[in-house]
Amino acid sequence: MKSASAQQEATRVTLIGMWLDLALGIAKIFGGIFTQSFALITDGIHSLTDAITDIFVLVVARIAHTEPDDEHPYGHGRFESLGTIGMGVVFFTTAGILLYDSYQRLLESASIPIPALSGAAIALISIASKEWIYQYTIRVARRLNSSLLKANAWHSRTDAISSIAVLIGIVAAYQGYIWMDTVAAIFVALIIAKIGWELCTDSLRELVDTAIPLPRQRQLQDCILAIDGIQGITSLRSRLSGGKIILEVRLLVDPRITVSEGHQLGETVSRALTGNFSDIGDVIAHIDPETHEEAAITIPHQSALPDRQQILANIKNQWQEFLSEDDIDNISLHYLENGIEVDLTINMEEISEQLARQLQQAIQRFHYIANLRIYSKLYEARLDQPLA
Ligand SMILES: [Zn+2]
């Protein structure tokens, strides 16, 4: 678990990067207009898209992670996916417009103005400050062991490369290769298109319920199987919502444990997963009774077994000449692969062999009953009540 101060430091380095992108974006767009460098303007737009992405992550993601409500019982994660796609489309369109403009400029390259060399100075400032934020972010990322911050740091390196292209374009254009400024702009526009593409594809994968990668699935399975009482996993379904994993897992457990114990095991699995992995959003556990390998073919038959009400009516009817309603304390049914096991508890101190045989013979006609166990209820102690 990350401590609060580590989280604060991660937020601070992201915020500094965002403000830097905002400042660089505005400086490069105005600088590009004044020095007549199209590449510099494009790089300014690139920095602005980076700043907008950071603002989106900081503000919208927070809204998306609000608790589920009546109208959105699965939470608000998909709002983030939808917002990200919208943003990706805007970036993609921006890149398209910039590429079209560049194409137009290449066609009329004779009439476009030569950029001023002072534009190169702005590009140099951009390269230097981007390299500085890379060094700062990567240091924090290594200390916190944060892969997200590491990715952010490497993005800053890419931004520096983008500005290097602009610098080369401006210097070359100043020396007479005017089209080089436009080529640099095309290079930067393609980077913006790539950002837009990645934002869209990641969120689209989320929206069409793509499973998490196989190695991740195996990692979660190993965590579940390490829990005492879990005998196997029948199926594991995963999807993402707002970057968090939603997991539906079918757990194999001993068929004779009680419902509350099965529920408890489900809770244990849920706690283990959310405790060990920070990206688990929700775990839905389904409890399956374990059946033997060779009995797998009889499972369809299991669902065809009569329900509890019908079975109780049938067997009580057969037992009425031996047992009164008051004699029966409890009847538990176990739906197993070879049929139903009946656990009968009766309010008698002693059960004669004759009675046991009679009860057994009375229900033998029901082919779906596989086994009968009879218990006598001798004593029941409520531990929350003082002894008399
Ligand atoms: Zn960038």
Which residue bears the tokens 């510099």? 40
Q: Is 228 exposed, middle or buried (0-12, 13-18, 19+ CB in 10 A)?
A: exposed
Summarize pLDDT for 287-319 with one digit per residue, the tens.
998 875 544 444 455 567 888 899 999 999 999
Compute the distance from residue 229 Cα to the ligand 1 centre, in Å: 49
Looking at residue 2, what is its pLDDT?
A: 46
Confidence of residue 248 (pLDDT cuts 50, 70, 90): very high
Ligand 1 midpoint to CA 304 (Å): 60
Interval 316-340 mean pLDDT: 88
The whole-number pLDDT of residue 230 equals 93
Share of the chain above pLDDT 90, in %: 36
Q: Provide the mean pLDDT of the chain.
A: 86
Structure tokens at 335: 């739906």
Average pLDDT over residues 139-157: 81
Residue with tokens 């757990």: 251
50 Cα: distance to centroid of ligand 1 (angstroms): 5
Residue (of 253, 10, 315, 328) closest to 153 by Cα position: 10
Superfamily assignment of 214-290 in CATH?
Cation efflux protein, cytoplasmic domain (3.30.70.1350)
What is the Cα–Cα distance from 223 to 205, expressed in whole angstroms? 25
At 284 the pLDDT is: 94
Ligand 1 centroid to residue 101 C-alpha, Å: 20
Cα(54) to centroid(ligand 1), Å: 11
Q: What is the pLDDT of residues 352-375, one digit of tens each?
A: 889 999 999 999 888 889 899 999
Confidence (pLDDT) at 301: 53
Cα-to-centroid distance, 47 and ligand 1 (Å)? 6
> At 180, is the pLDDT very low, low, confident or very high (cuts 50, 70, 90)?
confident
Query: What is the 158 CA–ligand 1 centroid distance (Å)?
Result: 6
Q: What is the pLDDT of residue 298?
A: 46
Cβ neighbors of 155 (< 8 A, separation 6 or more) are 50
Per-residue model confidence (pLDDT) at position 374: 92
For the cut 80, the answer to whether the pLDDT of residue 95 exceeds it is yes
CA of 46 to the centre of ligand 1 (A): 6
| Model confidence pLDDT, tens digit, residues 13-33 | 888 999 999 999 999 999 999
Once rounded to an integer, what is the mean pLDDT over residues 315-338?
88
Q: Looking at the predicted structure, is the pLDDT value of residue 154 above 90?
A: no
Q: What pLDDT, on the 0 to 100 scale, is given for residue 294?
A: 45
Give the whole-number percent of the chain exceeding pLDDT 70: 93
Q: How far is CA 312 from CA 154, 193, 244, 320, 330, in A?
A: 68, 68, 46, 12, 11
Q: Is the pLDDT of residue 214 over 90?
A: yes
- Distance in angstroms (rounded) separating the CA atoms of residues 292 and 296: 7
Mean pLDDT of 45-59: 85
Cα(51) to ligand 1 centroid in Å equals 9
Q: 54 near 82, Cβ under 8 Å?
A: no
Residue 21 CA to ligand 1 center (angstroms) comes to 9
Distance 78 CA to ligand 1 centre (A): 25
Q: How far is the CA of 134 from the centre of ligand 1 (A)?
A: 12
107 CA to middle of ligand 1, Å? 28
Give the pLDDT score at 130: 93
- Report the CATH fold assignment for 301-376: Alpha-Beta Plaits (3.30.70)
Distance CA 289, CA 340 (A): 13
Give the residue range(s) of CATH 3.30.70.1350 domains in the chain.
Answer: 214-290, 301-376
Q: Report which residue type is found at 98.
A: L
Order of strands across the sheet that contains 369-376: 328-336, 339-346, 369-376
Region for residue 339 given its phi and psi (left: phi exceeds 0; alpha: psi -120 to 50; beta: otherwise): left
CA of 152 to the centre of ligand 1 (A): 9
Predicted confidence band at 151 (pLDDT cuts at 50, 70, 90)?
confident
Tell me, in angstroms, the distance from the centre of ligand 1 to residue 88's CA.
13
- The pLDDT score that the predictor gives to residue 56 is 81
Span 252-262, pLDDT tens digits:
999 889 999 99
For residues 103 and 378, the model is more confident at 103
CATH 1.20.1510.10 domain span(s) along the chain? 4-207
Bridge-partner residues for 336, per DSSP? 339
pLDDT over 60 (residue 3): no
What are the tens digits of pLDDT across the range 123-133? 999 999 999 99
Distances (CA, A) of 254 to 223, 229, 232, 284, 291: 19, 8, 10, 19, 9
Output the CA 303–ligand 1 centroid distance in Å: 57
Measured in Å, residue 44 CA sits from the centre of ligand 1 at: 10
Alpha-carbon gap, residue 104 to 36, rounded angstroms: 16
pLDDT average, residue stretch 196-216: 88
Per-residue pLDDT at 4 exceeds 70 = no
Q: What is the pLDDT of residue 276?
A: 92
pLDDT band, very low/low/confident/very high, at 75 (cuts 50, 70, 90) = confident
Q: Report pLDDT for 303.
A: 60
For 4-207, the fitting CATH number among 1.20.1510.10, 2.130.10.10, 1.10.8.80, 1.10.760.10 is: 1.20.1510.10
CB burial string 315-342: b at 16+ within 10 A, e below: beebbeeebeeeebeeeebebbbebbbb
User: Would you place residue 61 in the very low, low, confident or very high pLDDT band (cuts 50, 70, 90)?
Assistant: low
